[in-house]
Amino acid sequence: MFNKLRPVWLVAGRELKDQFRDWRVLTPMIILMVCFPFLMNEFAKQTVDFLNQYEANLILDRLVPFSIMIIGFFPITISLVVALEAFVGEKERGTIEPVLSAPLDDWQLYFGKLLVGVATPLAASYLSITLYLIMIVQQGLEIPSFSIMLQLILLTTAHATLMVSAAIVISVQSTSVKAANLLASFIVIPVAILMQGEAVMLFWGNEDVLWLAVAGVMIIALLLIRVGIAHFQREYLLGREIDTINLKWVLNTFWKNFMGGAHSIGEWYRKVLGGAMRRVLPAVLAVTLVAGVSLWMGYDWIMVNVSPVIAKASPERLEKIEESAREMPGLANLQDTINAPFLFMNNTRAVALIFLAGLVSFSVLGVLLYMLNIGLIGGVYALLELLGLQPLPIFLAGVLPHGIFELPALVIGAAVVLYMGVAIVTPQTGKSMGEVIIELFADWTKIFFGLVVPLLAVAAVIEAYITPVLLAGVVK
């Protein structure tokens, strides 16, 4: 094993020498690493003085962890330029041929570049955080607890791994440094938005949710590394000099995969859609298991968190809640307020949102949204049970009639997203990354319009015109 890793260290050593002998790389990194903690400290002082006027102690307690997270992030953004030039920069400088002709495996070459790309910004981030902590101690401020510091360090590590791995994927797929730098905005902006959400969780003070954020970011980072290795081809780097937008080729490739040579609707459903469903079948089984886990999680969360609240409620208040739940206000007029087109568009939008979320996260966020939708069912079941109602008859009348069609559509839609995420990170010999994505999008389009949309249409009609009648009969 050590012999296989030795070439990785050789490539990493070569990259380190290239970085540390270029003052244009070192100077901004050192300036940012040393100066930004002082700037952030001054910002914190001004913020503290302002918040002290309103006795906002909760925000003050969370200001130091927030500052640490921001200080750890900025050196990574500067060092991202180095990762973006990992392959395409060497290609422009004419030094890529000796590297690619070396007796190294693809993964050894790739990991050597990745190791330096991650280690350099992390070292700068850790040093900046250490400098800031020293200033905090000198000012007599309270250092965050060990668990929060561990979360912040892990978040910084996850952000660096995510951004650098994405930058190296861009470097492999780009034909010029200019194109790679322009594409860098698709790394910095999403991560900056992600950090805004993490900052909200940090000020909120929910450490459990932050652990989930650490796990989610690291999973996406590992998937990006897998994508880079799966689609790394030496001859592809040497053979392509310029990228052109060939819309005709894109449309032809998509249409060829979408139609699959079928000459009739029956043949298309039997051969093309059937073939796509056979490829997605393992993902359907996996997503079905996830649905069971999600139902239990939703049920358990309500039982653990809502049960104590209901137990503390006064008998009069509890009686009013139970009476309102039994009457289900608005049920009689439900058919007049909600129609089938509205329900169809709402459910279709939910499945499309799962697809879009999965598209930007290798299916991770899409599966999480799917789990949230399924978990709501378990949560409502638990809530009805806590209110003293009979949840099983209500669910048989209020969910099962349209759920026979709607739930399979949701499961299949999430399964396609999971299948796409797995397929992207799987090596595809003889195919470019763009071709793989087009073929996967064609598969999603087949299943979405050929199966999911019809199921949702039938479910919407039943939910609008049959379910309210059955539910009203059970409630009475």
Specify which of 103-107, 202-206, 300-304, 454-458 reaches the highest per-range mean pLDDT: 454-458
What are the tens digits of pLDDT across the range 123-157? 889 999 999 888 888 877 778 888 888 989 999 99
Residues 31 and 52 in one domain: yes
Q: Tell whether the torsion through CA atoms of 382, 383, 388 and 391 is positive or negative.
A: negative
Residues 203 and 258 in one domain: no
In the chain the first and final C-alpha atoms are separated, in Å, by 70
Q: What is the pLDDT of residue 386?
A: 82
What is the percent of the chain where pLDDT is above 70?
Answer: 87
The answer for 389, left when phi > 0, alpha when psi is -120 to 50, beta otherwise, is beta
Taking 80 as the threshold, does the pLDDT of residue 295 lie above it?
A: yes
Q: What is the pLDDT of residue 314?
A: 67
Of 239, 270, 288, which residue constitutes the final position of a domain? 239
Residues 262 and 231 in one domain: no
pLDDT classification of 54: cutoffs 50, 70, 90: low
b/e map of 418-448 (b: 16 or more CB within 10 Å)? bbbbbbbbeeeeeeebeebebbbbbbbebbb
How many CA atoms lie less than 13 Å away from 296 in the CB half-sphere?
A: 6
- Average pLDDT value for residue range 245-259: 86
Residues 372 and 434 in one domain: yes
- Average pLDDT value for residue range 307-320: 72
Q: In 3-state terms, the chain is what percent helix, strand and coil (to 5)? A: 85, 0, 15
What residues make up the domain containing 87? 2-239
What is the percent of the chain where pLDDT is above 90?
Answer: 20
Residues 335 and 381 in one domain: yes
Residues 320 and 452 in one domain: yes
- Average pLDDT value for residue range 312-337: 62
- Average pLDDT value for residue range 56-80: 76
Taking 70 as the threshold, does the pLDDT of residue 206 lie above it?
A: no
User: What are the tokens at 194?
Assistant: 């992600």
Specify which of 48-62, 265-279, 378-392 reaches the highest per-range mean pLDDT: 265-279
Residues 333 and 411 in one domain: yes
Residues 426 and 458 in one domain: yes
- Average pLDDT value for residue range 68-83: 82
Q: What is the pLDDT of residue 51?
A: 64
Q: How many CB atoms lie within 10 A of CB 52?
A: 11
Distance CA 296, CA 374 (A): 10
Distance CA 171, CA 187 (A): 12
Residues 160 and 24 in one domain: yes
Q: What is the pLDDT of residue 408?
A: 94
Residues 345 and 375 in one domain: yes
- Average pLDDT value for residue range 65-73: 86
* Cβ neighbours of residue 453 closer than 8 Å, sequence gap 6 or more: 348
- Least reliable range by pLDDT among 118-127, 136-145, 401-410, 440-449: 136-145
More confident residue, 295 or 212: 295
- Judge whether 29 and 79 are in contact, CB under 8 Å: yes
Residues 60 and 122 in one domain: yes
pLDDT classification of 242: cutoffs 50, 70, 90: low
Of 200, 218, 239, which residue constitutes the final position of a domain? 239
Residues 82 and 227 in one domain: yes
pLDDT classification of 336: cutoffs 50, 70, 90: low
Specify which of 52-56, 81-85, 205-209 reaches the highest per-range mean pLDDT: 81-85
The answer for 233, left when phi > 0, alpha when psi is -120 to 50, beta otherwise, is beta
Q: What is the pLDDT of residue 93?
A: 75
Of 221, 239, 257, which residue constitutes the final position of a domain? 239
Q: What is the pLDDT of residue 459?
A: 94
More confident residue, 3 or 321: 3
Taking 90 as the threshold, does the pLDDT of residue 230 lie above it?
A: no
| Average pLDDT along the chain | 82
Q: How many domains does the chain have?
A: 2
Q: What is the pLDDT of residue 282?
A: 93
